[in-house]
């Protein structure tokens, strides 16, 4: 029996119950023999018996595999599916749905050979997960080292084993999270310590770190850092990102913790790539925004709390009709962030090393998004950038106002002068109208293009960033920096059902608290963890809350909290 405890995209911690024993996954099956016994901290083990390789959770048998499950070069053969006791052995990419199978464990029988081919490994793991669904386990034998454990788990592997640790240790090789070294070169090792024991200990410590990063939502960072330990790791993650983005994004949350975008691979994180894609698919400036202002990002997030952006705001407030200005923040790895979207994840959570140097992919990303924004017909573009200025010079015809520093007094004076001229030449917009259109833009980005109807005939009250959407005396939604998203009331949900709001069809029963997966009949495949979700009961709105699972997981699960309910219909 499986129960997901924590989620980090495709990776998760799972409470696995086998008979009377329990284990927390991801986990390591430690091979145990007369030559090398399983270490005392092992929670799971695998031993050779007359029946085959017996995998155990505590004293309970989880499954039994035949000897020799890694025939050479088997990945070059056609897909095959072999029955084992309590498990199924899969070789090659599954070409159909395997959810009808009763086994909880699916063994990637050719995992060891796939170490030679990063593209084939990424494709096979993705295909296997799609075939078996979210609530089955993937075991990849013979492939784990401390340096790739985080990456394997990130890609969706739940179980690994110690066979490669023992093999490499017996050859005098020490396996570290940072790579491999010869035991003879390790002056820090005492003569009593064996290479095999070192490798087992290193993998166990790495497993604890991997579990912690899953719980805190930061496994992707660890996977990026560890991938650089080997060429195979870099290739596997790059290919997994570029060729299986949709597979990852389906489970990637829309909320999360602060993280570091320290590697080039961060450009292709599923949550970062999704942000850029949604800018092009869902964002458009309000009709009264006629002046496009390009400004740099800040180290402090959200941007409006930083010293530099407060200075920009002072300039804008001193300019009549500044509501006509659309601020566009230039940054990596997100490309551009419209001011009204600065609270959204990951715009308010990322941190990057600032060097002033941009590589080719970053330049292309920024130019593409700035060009997209410029297509909306702004009358004037003002470029208040320094090191980033050359990125947009050949994309838009802009007035440059920054000197050597964007916050120097003379630079701010030039900015004010340019804004005075540009804003004076366009139709005046009221601040009340501007606030409504800002929330309309947020709704469109969060839910989809049609959800702007949430703001029809509505007013916005409160002080930014704590804003409420009101229809007379009825509250429809609220924006807060804690989530960075619009939180809907029942009335707000009813207004935008069918306009992009993710739905969950529940059974015909009364809610007493959260909605659990067992009560879900169907779910919008577009739902992501952290999304607003409306609960439908017999076609009517029954409640609204926050999705804990993705829509794909809800439809595939029978256990666990699916939606944390905020409001529900009151029934007499």
CA distances from 310 to 58, 304, 306, 335, 346 (A): 58, 6, 6, 21, 21
Query: In the 8-state DSSP scheme, what is residue 85?
Result: B
Q: Find, among 365, 347, 273, the residue nearest to 309 by Cα.
A: 347
What are 214-235's pLDDT values in tens digits?
999 999 999 999 999 999 999 9
Residue 70 has pLDDT above 70, yes or no: no
**How far is Cα 66 from Cα 54, in angstroms, rounded to an integer?**
9
> What pLDDT, on a 0 to 100 scale, did the predictor assign at position 116?
86
Q: Does residue 42 contact residue 28 with C-beta atoms inside 8 Å?
A: yes
**How far is Cα 452 from Cα 496, in angstroms, rounded to an integer?**
8
The count of residues in the chain is 572
Q: Is cis: bond before 205, omega within 30 of 0?
A: no
Residue 440 has pLDDT above 80, yes or no: yes
DSSP 347-383: TTTEE----S---HHHHHHHHHHHHHHHTTT-SEEEE
Domains belonging to the chain, first-starting first, are 2-249 (3.20.20.105), 283-424 (3.40.50.10630), 469-568 (2.30.130.10)
Q: Is 3 helix (H, G, I), strand (E, B) or coil?
A: strand
**How far is Cα 464 from Cα 484, in angstroms, rounded to an integer?**
12
Instruction: Determine the average pLDDT of the residues in 278-284.
Output: 97
Residue with tokens 């809610």: 511
> What pLDDT, on a 0 to 100 scale, did the predictor assign at position 310?
97
What are 289-319's pLDDT values in tens digits?
999 999 999 999 999 999 999 999 999 999 9
**How far is Cα 7 from Cα 130, in angstroms, rounded to an integer?**
17
**How far is Cα 177 from Cα 146, in angstroms, rounded to an integer?**
5
Q: Find, among 513, 511, 471, 473, the residue nearest to 493 by Cα.
A: 471
> What pLDDT, on a 0 to 100 scale, did the predictor assign at position 415?
97
Instruction: Determine the average pLDDT of the residues in 163-184.
Output: 91
> What pLDDT, on a 0 to 100 scale, did the predictor assign at position 71?
61
């Amino acid at each position: 029996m499986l129960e997901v405890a924590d989620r980090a995209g495709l990776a998760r911690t799972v409470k696995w119950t086998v008979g009377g024993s329990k284990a927390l996954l991801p986990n390591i099956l430690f091979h145990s023999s007369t030559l090398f016994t399983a270490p005392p901290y092992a929670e799971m083990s695998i031993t050779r018996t007359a029946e085959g390789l017996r995998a155990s959770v505590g004293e309970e048998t989880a499954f039994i595999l035949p000897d020799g499950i890694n025939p050479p070069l088997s990945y070059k053969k056609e897909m095959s599916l072999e029955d084992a006791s309590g498990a199924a052995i899969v070789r090659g990419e599954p070409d159909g749905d395997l959810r009808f199978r009763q086994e909880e464990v699916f063994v990637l029988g050719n995992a060891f050979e796939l170490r030679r081919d990063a593209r084939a490994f990424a494709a096979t793991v993705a295909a296997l997960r799609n075939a078996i669904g979210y609530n089955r386990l993937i075991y990849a034998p013979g492939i784990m080292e401390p340096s790739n454990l985080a990456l394997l788990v990130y890609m969706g592997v739940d179980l690994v084993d110690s066979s490669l640790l023992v093999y490499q240790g017996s050859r005098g090789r020490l396996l570290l999270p940072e790579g491999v070294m010869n035991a003879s070169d390790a002056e820090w090792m005492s003569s009593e310590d064996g290479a095999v024991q070192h490798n087992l200990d290193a993998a166990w410590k790495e497993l604890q770190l991997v579990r912690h990063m899953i719980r805190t939502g930061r496994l992707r960072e660890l996977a990026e850092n560890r991938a650089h330990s080997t060429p195979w790791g870099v290739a596997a993650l790059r290919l997994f990102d570029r060729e299986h983005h949709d597979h990852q994004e389906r489970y990637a949350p829309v909320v999360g913790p602060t993280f570091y975008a320290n590697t080039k691979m961060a450009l292709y994180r599923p949550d970062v790539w999704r942000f850029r894609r949604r800018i092009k698919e869902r964002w458009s400036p309000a009709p009264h925004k006629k002046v496009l202002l390009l400004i740099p990002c800040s180290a402090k997030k959200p941007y409006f709390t930083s010293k530099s952006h407060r200075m920009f705001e002072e300039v804008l407030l001193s300019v009549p009709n500044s509501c006509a200005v659309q601020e566009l923040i230039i940054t990596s790895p997100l490309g551009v962030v419209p001011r009204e979207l600065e609270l959204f994840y990951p715009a308010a959570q990322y941190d990057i090393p600032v060097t002033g140097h941009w590589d080719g992919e970053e330049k292309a990303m920024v130019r593409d998004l700035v060009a997209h924004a410029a297509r909306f017909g702004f009358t004037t573009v003002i470029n208040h950038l320094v090191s980033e200025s050359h990125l947009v010079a050949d994309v838009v015809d802009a007035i440059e106002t920054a000197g050597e520093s964007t916050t120097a007094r003379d630079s701010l004076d030039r900015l004010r002068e340019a804004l005075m001229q540009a804003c004076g030449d366009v139709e005046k917009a009221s601040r009340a109208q501007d606030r409504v259109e800002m929330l309309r833009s947020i709704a469109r980005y969060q839910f989809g293009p049609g959800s702007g109807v949430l703001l029809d005939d509505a007013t916005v009250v409160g002080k930014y960033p704590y804003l409420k959407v009101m229809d007379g005396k009825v509250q429809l939604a609220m924006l807060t920096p804690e989530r960075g998203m619009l939180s809907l009331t029942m009335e707000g949900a009813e207004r935008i059902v069918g306009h992009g709001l993710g739905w969950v069809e529940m059974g015909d029963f009364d809610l007493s608290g959260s909605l659990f997966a067992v009560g879900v009949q169907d779910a919008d495949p577009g739902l992501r963890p952290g999304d607003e979700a409306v609960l439908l009961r017999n076609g009517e709105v029954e409640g609204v809350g926050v999705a804990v699972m993705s829509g794909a997981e809800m439809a595939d699960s029978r256990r666990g909290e699916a939606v944390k309910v905020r409001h529900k219909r009151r029934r007499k």
